[in-house]
A and B are shown apart, each in its own frame.
Chain A
Amino acid sequence: MLDVAIHHAVVIDTEKGIEKKMNIGIKDDKIVRLTTDTLIATRVIEAKNLIASPGFIDVHGHVDGYAYSGELSACQGITTTVGGNCGLSPVDIADFFARQMRDGFVINQAELIGHSFSLRQAVGIADPYRQATPKEFVAMEELTRKALQAGACGVSFGLDYSPGASFAEITALANVCAEFNRIMPIHTRLFTQNDLYSLFEVLAVAKRTGVRLLISHFVYQYGTGIMEEALNIIDQAIQNGIDVKIDSGMYTDWTTFIGTATFDEQTIADNEMRFSDMIVASGKYIGKRLDRQLYLNMRKDYPNESVICFMGNKAEIYTALKKSYAMPSSDIGTYKKGEGHPQIAGSFPKYFKEMVKERRDLSLIEAVTKATLLPAKTFGFAHKGVIKVGSDADITLFDFEHLADKADFPDRGKPDAKPTGIEYVLVNGRLVVDQGRFTGKKAGRIVRG
């Protein structure tokens, strides 16, 4: 007998680009039936009026084994998350995977090896403005190779956090990444608000090494009035044969740790950021608007707390995500309950609600494909991103009419308020969200690159 049967769902076929009312049969962790016949199973889900999508794949997150972030991801319909982004990851990937398998986790996790914080720190570079020495290159290359051998799905960079990294340093790790044919997600470095050379320098790395690029949270980088120009550069690069994609969330207001180079006084001045546009996202001062005194205090005593910076042009979110090579992402971080940025709980429902239902920028099938099959292909996750016989039973069932994000910024609402409309989420055939409620089942697995 089947373990789970889903009846009467509108199934999105991401490979053929069609939708069809079907019944889905699941045995263990696989989809084994796709039929109009009535199925008999231990658990039958009546999914009339629900959309059956392959589970969403969040290509840009920082879940990294943190349980509450796993819960918030699952409740958005995410069944696989890619961690270790922006150059911040565990360095010993084999150990990280072993711990995740031993302890279990709610959703599937793939992990990147991160350059800008983690590898640099591991080889003894404390100053983000310093170039690595040739000896340090070699040490970082070795650690990268080890991580990729252990199954890391790529090498991530957060160049804003290591402004001193040289072209040679980035290229050295890109070569290793290309050797393994893995993906290289890059949070680019902008020295001024309109610094489009931040794109050319990473395209140059790709041209030199042949590495496949994913430019991270594109709207946070270029959603400040230069989106069209930035996308033109990407379009041109694709025409020139460079393998590059982008991801983005549904917000223009980004967040990061107050202690990073991004919040250095010089960077604030260079990018014309203002304290009055910054809100504390975590810790003792959550919800408070920054002033100079609070800024100095937090930089000194609370460097690992997050601050949200309000900026950007909202219309550019849609411009970016409409591109065929763009994927939605959350940039979820690790926060305690009640803390954070609304992206941690609202990103994917907001994407469907705004871009499909309200604005009609994308058809439902297009939107689903960009959140599932495109990421699976980009990262080479076999058997994911599609609902067909033989695929992994990662499925998100949602009520399109009632799909809505509820999370808000911490000065005006709950950043971790769960969305409505995500009714069932199956990870490897097990229900982690059941009738809209989180079950806490540790159904996730490690996804190796």
Chain B
Amino acid sequence: MKNIKRICFLGKGGIGKSVITANVSAALAKQGYKVLQVGNDISLSSTLVLRGEVEVTPALEEYRKKYMIKIEDYIIKSPSGVYCLELGSLEPGVGCMARGIHIIDEMLESQGAIDNLDLDYILYDISGDIPCTGFILPMRDGVMQKCIVVTNSSFPALVTANSMIAGIVRASKHKILPIGLLVNFADVYPARTQLTAYAEAIQLEEIAYLDYFQKIEYSELAGKTVLAAYPDSAATEAMMKLAKKIIEAKEHCVPKPLERKELLNWLSQWKQRSLAQKSGIIGIDDSSNI
């Protein structure tokens, strides 16, 4: 049996998390790995750029109707070779997301899907902005082997990222789950400088950057991964590099996320720097972003 790795992608909704996850999945598949991507958003959109127009039936919603499902019936193989599974969500207002991922993950294992598909990686693209107990459970209870927290330089995205890191650290009492920070739109000032400083401030060692690529934006609009739409582009190359970086094994120490007051003060200082930059006063410290 292979040593399968489960990596989850977390972060504020709307900052490009699903598109990145899907492109990373495609890049890993291109590098020869067998990959399953699992999404749990109500829109079923996590795997959209992988599977294109092919419809999926949300597995958890079917499970709630049928109690017993064959999980492989809900997995679709995309043209890139990435397997896609959408869980769907809750009936709005009913219950808690807690354990949805556990239940599916146990099915993948106990029904032999992991072996049948010969998987190397499962990439979980987890929706949700608030790290409540239910949200953190799969990270706490050992389902995941690594977390990638996606953010950009916007105030709400970074606050969410910080609170997610805090949730994971708090939950990882015995064994610290490796956490990496992935900065999207890293070339949009002040993302690179600001988030490098943030990672240093919280002693987070693993940080990756993805710049804005028009080809990623266009490929998403075309319902494709950038690897499929523009295979020879710089964007594809960036995705291939990013995928390699994400699966690299590294030593991790425990990050120390900022307390709210500390975070807000820190962000306020960064707003002043942004204002200065926009007013034409660029400090030497910020030039690395350009």
Are B63 and A204 within 8 A (Cβ)? yes
Contacts of B13 in A (CB 8 A): none
Q: Flag A226-255 by CB within 8 Å of B: 1 or 0 each.
A: 100100000001001010000000000000
CB within 8 Å for A242 and B94 given contacts A168-B110, A191-B99, A191-B133 = no
**Which chain A residues in 181-240 approach chain B with CB under 8 Å?**
191-198, 200-201, 203-204, 206-208, 226, 229, 237, 240
CB within 8 Å for A191 and B67 given contacts A168-B110, A201-B103, A270-B133 = no
Are A206 and B67 within 8 A (Cβ)? yes
Contacts of B94 in A (CB 8 A): 196, 229
CB within 8 Å for A195 and B110 given contacts A226-B95, A229-B94, A242-B67 = no
Q: Chain B residue with minimal CB distance to A226?
A: B95
Contacts of A240 in B (CB 8 A): 67
Contacts of A200 in B (CB 8 A): 63-64, 67, 103
Q: Flag B102-114 by CB within 8 Å of A: 1 or 0 each.
A: 0100100010000
Q: Is B223 an interface residue (CB 8 A)?
A: no
Q: State which of A168, A194, A204, A226 has its C-beta within 8 Å of the C-beta of B68.
A: A204
Contacts of B137 in A (CB 8 A): 191-192
Contacts of A168 in B (CB 8 A): 110
Are A191 and B63 within 8 A (Cβ)? no
Q: Is B275 an interface residue (CB 8 A)?
A: no
Secondary structure class of chain A's binding surface, majority of residues:
helix
Contacts of B99 in A (CB 8 A): 191, 195, 197-198, 201
CA distance A87 to B106 in the complex (A): 23
CA distance A237 to B68 in the complex (A): 12
**Which chain A residues in 317-350 approach chain B with CB under 8 Å?**
none
CA distance A127 to B141 in the complex (A): 14
**Which chain A residues in 21-65 approach chain B with CB under 8 Å?**
none
Q: Is B100 an interface residue (CB 8 A)?
A: yes
CA distance A193 to B95 in the complex (A): 9
Are B110 and A197 within 8 A (Cβ)? no
Q: Chain A residue with minimal CB distance to B173?
A: A266
Q: Is B117 an interface residue (CB 8 A)?
A: no
Quick one: which of A194, A207, A229, A269 has the most chain B CB within 10 A? A194
CA distance A229 to B67 in the complex (A): 16
Q: Chain B residue with minimal CB distance to A237?
A: B67
A-B CB pair tally, cutoff 8 Å: 61
Q: Is B16 an interface residue (CB 8 A)?
A: no
The size of the chain A interface, using a CB distance under 8 A, is 25
Q: Is B98 an interface residue (CB 8 A)?
A: yes
Are A191 and B134 within 8 A (Cβ)? yes
CA distance A75 to B68 in the complex (A): 44
Secondary structure class of chain B's binding surface, majority of residues:
helix
Q: Is B197 an interface residue (CB 8 A)?
A: no
Contacts of B132 in A (CB 8 A): 192
CA distance A194 to B98 in the complex (A): 8
Q: Is A313 an interface residue (CB 8 A)?
A: no
**Which chain A residues in 234-290 approach chain B with CB under 8 Å?**
237, 240, 242, 269-270
CA distance A204 to B69 in the complex (A): 9
Contacts of A269 in B (CB 8 A): 133
Q: Chain A residue with minimal CB distance to B64?
A: A200
The size of the chain B interface, using a CB distance under 8 A, is 18
Quick one: which of A167, A195, A198, A208 has the most chain B CB within 10 A? A195
Are A195 and B67 within 8 A (Cβ)? no
Are A195 and B106 within 8 A (Cβ)? no
CA distance A193 to B64 in the complex (A): 19
Contacts of A193 in B (CB 8 A): 96
Contacts of B106 in A (CB 8 A): 166-167
Q: Chain A residue with minimal CB distance to B134?
A: A192
CA distance A242 to B134 in the complex (A): 27
Contacts of B100 in A (CB 8 A): 197
Are A196 and B95 within 8 A (Cβ)? yes
Are A204 and B133 within 8 A (Cβ)? no
Contacts of B103 in A (CB 8 A): 167, 197, 200-201
Q: State which of A166, A196, A203, A204 has its C-beta within 8 Å of the C-beta of B96.
A: A196
CA distance A371 to B150 in the complex (A): 56
Are A229 and B95 within 8 A (Cβ)? yes
Nearest-Cβ distance from residue A178 to partner chain B, whole angstroms: 14
Are A195 and B95 within 8 A (Cβ)? yes
Are B64 and A191 within 8 A (Cβ)? no
Q: Flag B30-44 by CB within 8 Å of A: 1 or 0 each.
A: 000000000000000
CA distance A200 to B96 in the complex (A): 12
Are B133 and A192 within 8 A (Cβ)? yes
CA distance A206 to B98 in the complex (A): 21
CB within 8 Å for A197 and B67 given contacts A191-B137, A192-B133 = no
Contacts of A191 in B (CB 8 A): 98-99, 133-134, 137
Are A208 and B68 within 8 A (Cβ)? yes
CB within 8 Å for A195 and B98 given contacts A167-B106, A167-B110, A200-B103 = yes
Are B96 and A194 within 8 A (Cβ)? yes
CA distance A168 to B68 in the complex (A): 13
Q: Chain A residue with minimal CB distance to B110?
A: A168
Contacts of A195 in B (CB 8 A): 95-96, 98-99, 134
Q: Chain B residue with minimal CB distance to A269?
A: B133
**Which chain B residues in 50-80 approach chain A with CB under 8 Å?**
63-64, 66-68
Nearest-Cβ distance from residue A154 to partner chain B, whole angstroms: 20
Q: State which of A166, A198, A204, A226 has its C-beta within 8 Å of the C-beta of B67.
A: A204
Contacts of B67 in A (CB 8 A): 200, 203-204, 206-208, 237, 240, 242
Nearest-Cβ distance from residue B109 to partner chain A, whole angstroms: 10
Contacts of A204 in B (CB 8 A): 63, 67-68
Are B133 and A197 within 8 A (Cβ)? no
CA distance A212 to B165 in the complex (A): 43
CA distance A317 to B96 in the complex (A): 21
Are A207 and B68 within 8 A (Cβ)? yes
| Closest CB pairs A-B (n = 5) | A196-B95, A207-B67, A194-B96, A197-B99, A270-B133
A to B CB contacts below 8 Å, 11 in the list: A191-B98, A191-B133, A191-B134, A195-B96, A195-B134, A197-B95, A200-B63, A200-B103, A204-B68, A229-B94, A229-B95
Binding site for A on B (CB under 8 A): 63-64, 66-68, 94-96, 98-100, 103, 106, 110, 132-134, 137
Binding site for B on A (CB under 8 A): 166-168, 191-198, 200-201, 203-204, 206-208, 226, 229, 237, 240, 242, 269-270
Q: A191-B134, A192-B134, A207-B67 are in contact. List 5 more A-B contacts (CB 8 A).
A: A166-B110, A191-B133, A195-B96, A197-B99, A197-B100
